[in-house]
């Protein structure tokens, strides 16, 4: 962990002059600047390529939410182990790279720790402005720990959360700060405490989409409580988030506006992504694996089949293509994509699940159908109507998985549902005449720490949370 903090503190010298980090804390190298003002520290949040990326590629591989071609499967053994659900593979041995899921998350956490430690003592700002930045860094740190905990550790189960390990927790910006691999319960207590601390100071409207606002705080609270199976609190904060922002993007209108390009047969011309910084559904924006102007991932044919007939959000994003031995749905949007932040559609669907869990089926379906109407073509659209709780919940889960594809949330939800044991998630596929299965109780649902982290844990220790 120590090497991460060294890197963070060294890059604070904006002139990029080489100097020891110990000396840096006392004297600024020529052409460099020691951060002192609020604007200096606020700039670290805007450093989105370092601190705002959320790479969960191996979770996407396991879910088969992204298409992997034959050549990549042959070359990348860890990717193949997850994508083909190989329970015999030793993923600990295969995970030898400096996995950005781990290192970028902790680099971001190091930055947010630095802001939290210094924001209240900065210059050229009011006390309110200082406290806002401090609160925003708290939310971003909590979000980063949530991602790590739901990638490298088992999902939250109240009966075992105090005895099972989560991920290393570090709260200091000191390069020699100790880290402790805390229990799952301790990690969730810490995350909830960060959000509680931040909520009173978050602005209703923030300066950019990268800066969490009050709606983001409420929405993230709802996400965390849902993961803990606390549906009462999750519903409470989902409602509060929707008071702050309840907008849904009209994908039917997007499709109509771009129909002339989207519907051209055998053409894969890109259309602009609406899911960037100004997306009306954003509470807060964070990147996925890629943090520059780009295209999104293509998806497998089997995954595409889970979308509803008439889903124009799907139709606007992917188109069937065959290249050699590979047939898949090729991506057709270019631009920015909010894969790591929080949007209103997630909160609508959290609310729908919580209502259904409470037996309020009609109200839950009203919320679900509110989302679907902005996604399904009028000619294909029909309200989902049922009085059966299981049918309603399965419809909510399907919509949520499709809406939040290529984010961590479907993976986190599947783990939560598998631990609950009522609505288990498992997958089966056939490739080259062989049938492959991902069981709901497979050890593959927890990702191994990269070897670099376990072999060089800094001022602490790290124990793997999975056997292989």
Share of the chain above pLDDT 90, in %: 84
Residue 32, pLDDT score:
58
Domains assigned to the chain? 2-234+444-455 (1.25.40.390)
∠ CA 131-276-196, rounded to 5°: 30
How many CB atoms sit inside 10 A of residue 16's CB? 10
The residue whose two tokens read 């390529």 is 49
Model confidence over 188-206: pLDDT tens digits? 999 999 999 999 999 999 9
Distance CA 383, CA 379 (A): 12
Q: Which of 202, 280, 206 is nearest to 240 (CA)?
A: 202
Q: Give the pLDDT confidence score for residue 138 in this predicted structure.
A: 98
For residue 52, how far is the Cα from the chain centroid? 10
Question: What pLDDT was estimated at residue 456?
Answer: 86
pLDDT per 10-residue tile (average), the chain, 468 residues? 45 33 41 82 91 94 96 95 97 86 93 96 96 98 98 98 97 87 98 98 97 98 98 98 98 97 92 96 92 82 97 97 94 94 98 98 98 98 98 98 98 98 96 94 97 89 94
Phi, psi of 72 (to 5 degrees): -65, -40
DSSP state of 120: G
């Amino acid at each position: 962990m120590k090497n991460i903090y060294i890197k963070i503190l060294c890059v604070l010298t904006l002139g990029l002059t080489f100097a020891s980090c110990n000396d840096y804390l006392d004297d600024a190298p020529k052409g460099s600047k020691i951060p002192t003002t609020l604007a200096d520290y606020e700039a670290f949040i805007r450093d989105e390529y370092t601190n705002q990326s959320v790479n969960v590629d191996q979770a996407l591989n396991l879910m088969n939410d992204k298409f992997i071609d034959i050549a990549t499967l042959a070359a990348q053994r860890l990717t193949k182990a997850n994508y083909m659900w190989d329970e015999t593979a030793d993923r600990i041995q295969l995970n030898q790279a400096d996995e950005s899921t781990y290192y970028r998350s902790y680099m971001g956490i190091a930055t947010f720790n630095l802001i939290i430690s210094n924001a209240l003592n900065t210059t050229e700002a009011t006390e309110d402005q200082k406290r806002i930045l401090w609160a925003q860094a708290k939310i971003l740190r909590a979000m980063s720990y949530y991602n790590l905990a739901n990638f490298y550790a088992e999902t939250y189960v109240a009966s075992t959360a105090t005895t099972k390990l989560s991920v290393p927790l570090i709260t200091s910006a000191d390069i020699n700060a100790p880290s402790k691999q805390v229990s799952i319960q301790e990690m969730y207590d810490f995350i909830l405490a960060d959000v509680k601390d931040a909520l009173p100071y978050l602005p209703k409207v923030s300066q950019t989409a990268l800066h969490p606002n009050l709606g983001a705080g409420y929405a993230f609270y709802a996400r965390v409580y849902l993961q803990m199976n606390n549906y009462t609190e999750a519903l409470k904060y989902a409602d509060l988030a929707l008071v702050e922002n309840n907008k849904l993007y009209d994908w039917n209108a997007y499709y109509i506006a771009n129909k002339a390009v989207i519907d051209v047969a055998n053409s894969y011309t890109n259309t602009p992504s609406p899911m960037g910084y100004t997306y009306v559904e954003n509470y807060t924006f964070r990147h996925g694996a890629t943090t520059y102007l780009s295209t999104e991932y293509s998806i497998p044919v089997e995954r595409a089949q889970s979308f509803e007939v008439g889903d124009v959000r799907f139709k606007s994003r992917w188109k069937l293509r065959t290249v050699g031995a590979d047939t898949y749905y090729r991506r057709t949007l270019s631009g920015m994509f909010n894969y790591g932040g929080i949007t209103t559609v997630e909160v609508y669907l959290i609310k729908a699940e919580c209502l259904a869990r409470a037996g309020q089926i009609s109200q839950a379906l009203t919320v679900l159908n509110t989302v679907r109407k902005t996604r399904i073509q009028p000619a294909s659209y029909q309200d989902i109507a049922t009085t059966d709780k299981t049918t309603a919940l399965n419809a909510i889960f399907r919509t949520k998985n499709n809406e939040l594809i290529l984010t961590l949330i479907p993976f986190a939800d599947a783990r939560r549902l598998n631990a609950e044991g009522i609505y288990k998630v498992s997958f089966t596929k056939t490739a080259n005449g062989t049938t492959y299965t991902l069981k709901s109780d497979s050890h593959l649902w927890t990702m191994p720490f990269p070897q670099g982290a376990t072999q060089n844990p800094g001022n602490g220790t790290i124990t793997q949370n999975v056997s292989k």
